[in-house]
Chain A
Amino acid sequence: MKEKAIRLATLFSFIVASILAGAFFLAASLQDHGALARYAGAVWVFILALIVALPTIAPILKKRLGINKK
Chain B
Amino acid sequence: MAEKETQEKKRIALPITGMTCVSCVAHVTQALEEVPGVTSAQVNLASEQASVEYDPARTSPREMEKAVRDIGYGIGKQTALLRVTGMTCASCVEKITRAVGEMEGVSNVVVNLASGSARVEYLPGVVGIREIKRTIQELGYGAQEALEGEAALEQEKKARASEIRRQLINLAIAWPVGIIVMLGTFRDYWVLPRLVPEFLGNTYLLGALTTIVVAGPARQFFINSYRGLRKGLTDMNLLYATGIGAAYLIAVLNTLWPRAGFGGEKATFYESAALLTGFIVLGRYLEAATRGRTSEAIRKLMRLQPRRARVVRGGQEIEVHADEVEVGDLVVVRPGESIPVDGVVEEGYSAVDESMLTGESLPVEKKSGDPVTGGTLNKTGAFRFRATRVGKETALAQIIRLVEEAQTTKAPIQKVADYVAGHFILGVHLLALLVFVFWFFLGYDLFFRPESGFILSPYTLGSVGVFGFALLLSITVLVISCPCAVGLATPAAIMAGSGKGAENGILFKGADAIEALSRVNTVIFDKTGTLTRGEPSVTDIVGGSLAEREVLLLAAVAERNSEHPLAEAILRRAREEGIDVPQPQAFQAIPGQGVEVGLEGARILLGNRKLMGEKAIAIDSLLPQVERLEAEGKTVVFLARDGKAGGVIAVADTLRPDAPLAIDQLHRLGIQVAMLTGDNRRTAQAIARQAGIDRVLAEVLPQDKAEEVRKLQGERRKVAMVGDGINDAPALAQADSGIAIGAGTDVAKETGHVILIRDRLLDVVAAVQVSRATMRKVKENLFWAFGYNTLGIPIAAGLLYPFFGLVVSPELAAFFMATSSISVTLNTTLLRGYRPPVRRLEAA
| Contact surface of A with B, Cβ cutoff 8 Å | 1-2, 5-6, 9, 24, 27-28, 31, 33-37, 40-41, 44-45, 47-49, 51-52, 54-56, 58-59, 62, 65-70
Contacts and interface: CB of A to CB of B under 8 A. Distances in A.
Contact of B429 (A28, A31, A51, A65): A51
Nearest to A33: B466
A69 B229 contact: no
Given A47-B242, A54-B232, A70 B61 contact: yes
B325 interface: no
Interface stretch (B98-106, B571-579, B647-655): B98-106
B262 A40 contact: yes
Interface in B132-191: none
B232 A58 contact: yes
A52 B433 contact: yes
A52 B430 contact: yes
A59 B261 contact: no
Contacts of B246: 44
Interface string B412-428: 00000000000001100
Given A9-B232, A37-B465, A70-B106, A51 B470 contact: no
Given A54-B232, A69-B102, A45 B436 contact: yes
Given A6-B231, A33-B466, A36-B260, A66 B433 contact: no
Contacts, number: 100
Contacts of A58: 232-233
Nearest to B467: A37
A9 to B, nearest CB: 6
B55 to A, nearest CB: 9
B303 interface: no
Contacts of A55: 232-234, 425-426
A48 B436 contact: yes
Interface of B: 56-62, 101-102, 104-107, 229-234, 238, 242, 246, 253, 260-262, 425-426, 429-430, 432-433, 436-437, 440-441, 465-467, 470-471, 474
Contact of A69 (B101, B233, B430, B441): B101
A52 B437 contact: no
Contacts of B433: 45, 48-49, 52
A48 B432 CA distance: 8
Contact of A68 (B62, B233, B425, B441): B62
A36 B262 contact: yes
B379 to A, nearest CB: 53
Contact of A51 (B62, B102, B234, B260): B234
A18 B436 CA distance: 17
Contacts of B429: 48, 51-52
Given A51-B429, A70-B62, A34 B101 contact: no
B261 A34 contact: yes
A1 B504 CA distance: 52
A68 B57 CA distance: 8
Contacts of B234: 51, 54-55
9 contacts: A28-B441, A45-B433, A51-B238, A51-B242, A51-B429, A52-B433, A65-B57, A66-B56, A70-B60
Contacts of A27: 441
A36 B56 contact: no
Nearest to A69: B102
Nearest to B56: A1
Nearest to B109: A70
Contacts of B466: 33, 37
Contact of A44 (B232, B261, B436): B436
Contacts of A37: 261, 440, 465-467
A35 B261 contact: yes
Contacts of A56: 426
B628 to A, nearest CB: 66
A1 B104 CA distance: 12
B714 to A, nearest CB: 34
B548 to A, nearest CB: 72
Nearest to B253: A40
A45 B232 CA distance: 19
A31 B436 CA distance: 15
A21 B781 CA distance: 39
A68 B60 contact: yes
The 8 closest A-B pairs by CB, nearest first: A58-B232, A36-B261, A68-B60, A37-B467, A66-B57, A48-B433, A70-B62, A34-B261
B61, B246, B253, B429, most chain A CB atoms within 10 A = B429
Given A41-B467, A52-B430, 16 more contacts: A1-B56, A9-B232, A40-B253, A41-B436, A44-B467, A44-B471, A45-B436, A48-B242, A48-B430, A48-B474, A51-B426, A51-B429, A65-B57, A68-B56, A68-B60, A70-B61
A41 B441 CA distance: 11
A1 B58 CA distance: 13
Given A1-B56, A48-B433, A51-B238, A6 B232 contact: yes
A33 B231 CA distance: 37
A63 B251 CA distance: 42
Nearest to B239: A51
Nearest to A27: B441
Nearest to A35: B261
Contacts of A68: 56, 59-60, 62, 104
A41 B232 CA distance: 24
Contacts of A59: 232
Contact of B440 (A9, A41, A70): A41
B238 A36 contact: no
B441 to A, nearest CB: 7
B136 to A, nearest CB: 16
A17 to B, nearest CB: 10
A7 to B, nearest CB: 10
B242 A34 contact: no
Contacts of B441: 27-28, 31
Contacts of A34: 261, 465
Contacts of B470: 41
Contacts of A51: 229, 234, 238, 242, 426, 429
A28 B107 CA distance: 50
Contacts of A70: 60-62, 101-102, 104-107
A48 B234 CA distance: 12
Contacts of A41: 436, 440, 467, 470
